[in-house]
Amino acid sequence: MRILILTCATGGGHLRAAAALEKYIRETTTHEVIQMDFLKSIGKLLDKTICDSYLFMAKKTPSLFGRLYKTTNKDNPLADFVPHTTELLALQLYPRLAEVAPDVIISVHPFATEMVSSLKERRRITCPLICLMTDYGVHKAWIAPNVDAYVVACDDMVNDLRRLGISKEHIYPYGIPVHDVFFDKEDQAKLLTEMDLEPEVPTVLFMAGSMGVSNIVDLYRGLCSSPLDLQIIIITGNNKKLYKLFESEIPNSSKKTKLIQFTTEVERFMHASDLIITKPGGLTVSEALACNLPLAVFDAIPGQEEDNANFLQTHDMGVRITKENFSAVVSSLIEHKERLRRMRESCRTFDKSRANENIVALAVRLAKEFASYNPNISFSTDKGVFNFRTAAIIVQNGKLLVTKDDSVEHYYFPGGRVTMREKAEDALTRELKEELGVTVAPERAVWIAQSFFTPTGKKQRYHELCTYFTVDASGTDLITRGDRFDSPNEPSVHFAWFPFDELPYIDLRPAFLKTEVQNLPEHTQFITIGD
């Protein structure tokens, strides 16, 4: 089975969730897994524009970000803007999805969910779609009409989704995927000794890289002024400016402090700590909870981070702190060990250690269910892609009706893929109804063609079986719609009438149709195209 995970770099949480799930699939199953940054697949400029805009608003204008978050979570024209925009971008993403030909798609970003949902609506994509939410609150941007399952972080989100019209049987509170190392039990005393810290002294961890510069230094100074006996670990990540500030600050500190710039072993420092001070990003929260580590969260971005902070506070797994109350709140937690113990126990009870396992099992089940009823007869192997297609030969007034869509430059005959247990002629009637808005019945099969080709811009070889039927459309209005017109149901699909004498000069595929369509055989012919 081929699993496609769609993600993007608007915040590290989406990427970390996707990476954790991908790693689990590769290491514990035989399934093929592909992770794709959908924005980069559409275009580098779009990716940079959206990612840079998100980071700018989140860091520089958080209040504006919060207002947009709340506004788009209500019924209004602005909230409808995102689905309309992603619908247009979906057609640009489709060629990459078609090339991968996944058996199931797992989306960890709302934009990707909207795009795939749009393609499923158009029957371009027929595999199941799983929406994996990476925060502890529900926003309607995640909701799309063709999602087959919603995986959410906690039970609290189930009722929120139901209020938005999602049925309970489509909601799975499995949790956010994190790497298994966060769930591994570690000997805290041993870890502290290896880090040259005191095993018996309470340890506070600062995940400081995303918290700004001045704020985190002030918080550190405030904590160092506390009379309590404690030690501190600071991870600055890629924030080089902050690292240098702490390099000069720590020698003058009254508290033993270990400074880390960048590490791929965050879990070791979490397991070594009694309390973490951090921003409440969805993945950071999930990783800390996996380590049974209580959180003190600071500087939450209005929107999803506020939802995460409120979730922690509601379930006694964390507290919210401000610059003004920081020292008092943290000191109180360290001093009152029973309160910290209760919070750790709440974290332990919130057990999502089987999130990866459950998500993969869900993906497998949905893929099997989809394969058992009405899927397109299309599948991918290591040798290429197979399609079963049916097409219409529609001629009126000496002109041939052909079609193309925004994902290709060439023309082809109207029609589409046949689904399992569906007759080719019934599939053709259905496809023409969907794309042209007319109800017609095929007359006779003219060709059964097997084609071997590699689509432009793709690497995979295709093996396609297509049945070509004559269709009498004289009782419809197709000829009166003009020489060029769009599908009434799918604006990205375009139609054109060409006189026979113009066919040699257009890019019509398969190419044999340019000449043979003018002299249809009396009996059905089986032909082979390509090699």
**CATH number of the 378-529 domain:** 3.90.79.10
> What number is the average pLDDT over the span 24-41?
92
d(CA 306, CA 240): 27
Proportion of the chain above pLDDT 70, given as a percent: 89
Question: Where do the domains of the chain lie?
Answer: 2-176+354-372, 181-349, 378-529
In the predicted structure, residue 57 carries a pLDDT above the cut 60: no
May I ask the CATH class of domain 2-176+354-372?
Answer: alpha beta
The SS3 assignment for 11 reads coil
- The two tokens of residue 368 are 């099997």
Q: What is the structure's pLDDT at 29?
A: 92
Q: Terminus-to-terminus CA distance in the chain, angstroms?
A: 27
Amino acid, res. 457:
G
In the predicted structure, residue 162 carries a pLDDT above the cut 90: yes
Same fold, 2-176+354-372 and 181-349: yes
Q: Are 417 and 382 in contact (CB under 8 A)?
A: no
Query: What is the chain's mean pLDDT, rounded?
Result: 88
**What are phi and psi for residue 73, nearest 5 degrees?**
-95, 10
d(CA 18, CA 9): 11
In the predicted structure, residue 209 carries a pLDDT above the cut 70: no
484 — pLDDT class (breaks 50, 70, 90): very high
Q: What is the structure's pLDDT at 79?
A: 47
Of 482, 480, 490, the closest CA to residue 416 belongs to 490
Picking from 186-195, 316-325, 387-396, which range would have the lowest pLDDT averaged per residue? 316-325
Q: What is the pLDDT of residues 429-443, one digit of tens each?
A: 999 998 999 999 999
- Alpha carbon 425 to chain centroid, angstroms: 36
Q: Pick the residue with more confidence: 48 or 476?
A: 476
521 — pLDDT class (breaks 50, 70, 90): very high
In the predicted structure, residue 75 carries a pLDDT above the cut 70: no
Q: What is the structure's pLDDT at 182?
A: 96
In the predicted structure, residue 379 carries a pLDDT above the cut 80: no
Q: What is the structure's pLDDT at 391?
A: 97
pTM, entire model: 0.72
Of 115, 38, 54, the closest CA to residue 82 belongs to 115
Q: What is the structure's pLDDT at 490?
A: 74
Sheet hosting strand 318-321, strand order edge to edge: 257-260, 231-235, 203-207, 275-278, 295-298, 318-321
Topology of domain 181-349, CATH? Rossmann fold (3.40.50)
d(CA 101, CA 377): 12
> What number is the average pLDDT over the span 369-390?
78
d(CA 55, CA 52): 5
> What number is the average pLDDT over the span 85-101?
82
394 — pLDDT class (breaks 50, 70, 90): very high
User: What's the half-sphere exposure (Cβ side, CA atoms, 13 Å) at 361?
Assistant: 7
Q: What is the structure's pLDDT at 376?
A: 66
